[in-house]
Amino acid sequence: MDHRLATDLRRLPELLGLTLRYAQSVLDGLDERPVVPSRAVGAGGGEGLDEGPGEGLGQGLGQGLGEEGGGVEGALAEFGARWAPWLSASAGGRYLGFVTGGATPAALAGDWLTSVFDQNSNSGLDGAGQALERETVGLLRELFGLGPEHSGTFVSGATLSNTVGLAIAREWLGERLGVSPAEDGAGALGTVRVLSGAPHSSIGKALSVLGLGRNALVTVPTLPGREAVDPVALDRALADTPGPAVVVANAGTVNTVDFDDLTAIAGLKRRHDFWLHTDAAFGAFAGLSPEHAHLVAGLGLADSVCVDLHKWLNVPYDSAVQFTRRQDLQARVFSNAAAYLGPLGPDPDLVHLTPENSHRLRALAAWFTLRAYGRQGHREIVERDIDCARRLGDELAADPAFRLLAPVRLNVVCFTLADRPTPERLAALREAAAGEVFVTPTVFGGTAALRAAFSNWRTTHTDVGRAAQALRTAAKGLG
């Protein structure tokens, strides 16, 4: 054994202790460190990170691999000095960009143990990993009020969950037309139409990956001033669509967290032939709050459902779940037949259900947090985040420097500057505030805007106060 490896093996308890103490110092410092270090704030594409070596960031770049490593201790020291200061505090309570969750204590413990056990949970051949993953899917089904008709699989994020859902939809279209895209290619389907009101960008990406093409997407009008699809317009669009179609319903849009009427959309199946895929990446969690559960009424009527877990469940990246009523079609798409793998059977191994073959025991972090905090604990996170969003919305609405672009429906505040809301001024505002609060840019209704999304279990009213203060100060600084 290489002498560095042998030394690290001998010192493992001590080195894990060192790493633990380092991890603790990072977590203890979350409240005080910059939410995003100033030189790492990009205008959108992470440009700041490409500015080259300067003060701090990138210091010592270009050392190369070299022959001999520094062991755990050396790697940790180098990481702590060269990289850690430039990573964002996205695990903390004032990182409000995109839709970003943190990691609950139990999720963190589960994630560490995922690496300790280092399972490849893709089959039932080697222990209980796959069974644990299935048990966790069952817990999530309960959490979201789905029934046993929905099977589920873990994937790396909502983009993959949408991709898998639409891959099953593609195979369903084939079934309707008497062909199999999995065998004969997407071309066997002819022209495919995927109808949606305000789909997430990942839907276009999924259609590209699946060979259906981004142009398969037909954007259906939304209700006036809203991001929710107009059910009458959808009815009409379906009537104009020859043959079976796919509808992507949106349960929680990223700009204004608007919800399609899922029950009304499912009701259109009485008149039209379509696969209903619902993107509920973070919106599914509205179901945990009695006051907001009506927003996701009808979620279970979908043929496939996407839910992200590294957002509002607060497990570490990367984790999401894909639910479907047609596991048989899913297995047709993703089956990975080989002599050394098990037969498909009625309950196929996970290797036959997603684009991945090998994968980590991704479910363990979710299992830990669900067992540790239960429905009540996760409801509290969701309700507190909603309350924080409402408070920030109230603070900004009351401030003449700002203007809300939509009511705070759930956990996102979509706002802009009252005076000259140009992308440049908003970027300057964002960067000036980024040490205290990180928000991300968007455009809503043709107006450049900012979004503050609350989905971290750590966020408190104190964070809202600090965030509002930072935004006010930054706005004053713009002149």
Contact residues toward ligand PLP (CB under 6 A) are 99, 157-159, 162, 200, 202, 252, 254, 279, 281-282, 308, 320
Task: State the minimum distance, in angstroms, from the CB of residue 363 to ligand PLP.
Answer: 16
Question: ∠ CA 288-289-291 to the nearest 5 degrees?
Answer: 150
C-beta of 156 vs 416, nearer to ligand PLP: 156
Helices (H), 64-157: 71-82, 105-117, 129-143
C-beta of 202 vs 256, nearer to ligand PLP: 202
Rounded Cα gap, residues 200 and 329, in angstroms: 24
User: Is 312 strand, coil or helix?
Assistant: coil
Rounded Cα gap, residues 306 and 326, in angstroms: 14
**Kind plus residue range of the DSSP H or E element containing 424:** helix 423-433
Two tokens, residue 16: 């894990």
C-beta of 72 vs 288, nearer to ligand PLP: 288
**Facing residues of 51 across strands?**
none
Which of 160, 163, 455 is closest to 320 using CA atoms? 160
Two tokens, residue 51: 């500015």
C-beta of 123 vs 153, nearer to ligand PLP: 153
Two tokens, residue 315: 């497990």
Rounded Cα gap, residues 417 and 421, in angstroms: 5
Task: State the minimum distance, in angstroms, from the CB of residue 391 to ligand PLP.
Answer: 22
Rounded Cα gap, residues 94 and 36, in angstroms: 10
User: Is 404 strand, coil or helix?
Assistant: strand
Task: State the minimum distance, in angstroms, from the CB of residue 248 to ligand PLP.
Answer: 10
Task: State the minimum distance, in angstroms, from the CB of residue 315 to ligand PLP.
Answer: 12
Task: State the minimum distance, in angstroms, from the CB of residue 355 to ligand PLP.
Answer: 13
Task: State the minimum distance, in angstroms, from the CB of residue 339 to ligand PLP.
Answer: 34
Rounded Cα gap, residues 305 and 416, in angstroms: 32
Burial of 273-297, coded b for 16+ CB within 10 Å and e otherwise, reads: ebbbbbbbbbbbbbbbbeebeebbe
C-beta of 277 vs 352, nearer to ligand PLP: 277
Task: State the minimum distance, in angstroms, from the CB of residue 319 to ligand PLP.
Answer: 9
C-beta of 259 vs 402, nearer to ligand PLP: 259
C-beta of 157 vs 287, nearer to ligand PLP: 157
C-beta of 282 vs 402, nearer to ligand PLP: 282
Residue given tokens 């191994």 in the structure block? 349
Report CA 123 to chain centroid distance, whole Å.
25
Q: Up-side HSE of residue 278: CA atoms within 13 Å toward CB?
A: 31
C-beta of 151 vs 411, nearer to ligand PLP: 411
Burial of 432-455, coded b for 16+ CB within 10 Å and e otherwise, reads: bbbbbbbbbbbebeeebbbbbbbb
Cα 14 to Cα 8, 79, 112, 115, 153: the distances in Å are 9, 18, 17, 18, 37
What does the chain come to in residues?
Answer: 479
**Facing residues of 248 across strands?**
196, 277
C-beta of 104 vs 156, nearer to ligand PLP: 156
In this structure, which amino acid lies at residue 204?
A: G
Which of 192, 138, 139 is closest to 170 using CA atoms? 192
Task: State the minimum distance, in angstroms, from the CB of residue 277 to ligand PLP.
Answer: 11
C-beta of 157 vs 316, nearer to ligand PLP: 157
- Tell me which DSSP letter residue 187 carries: G
Task: State the minimum distance, in angstroms, from the CB of residue 146 to ligand PLP.
Answer: 18
Task: State the minimum distance, in angstroms, from the CB of residue 159 to ligand PLP.
Answer: 3
Measured from the Cβ of residue 390, the count of other Cβ atoms closer than 10 Å reads 18
C-beta of 313 vs 417, nearer to ligand PLP: 313
Task: State the minimum distance, in angstroms, from the CB of residue 393 to ligand PLP.
Answer: 19
Task: State the minimum distance, in angstroms, from the CB of residue 128 to ligand PLP.
Answer: 27
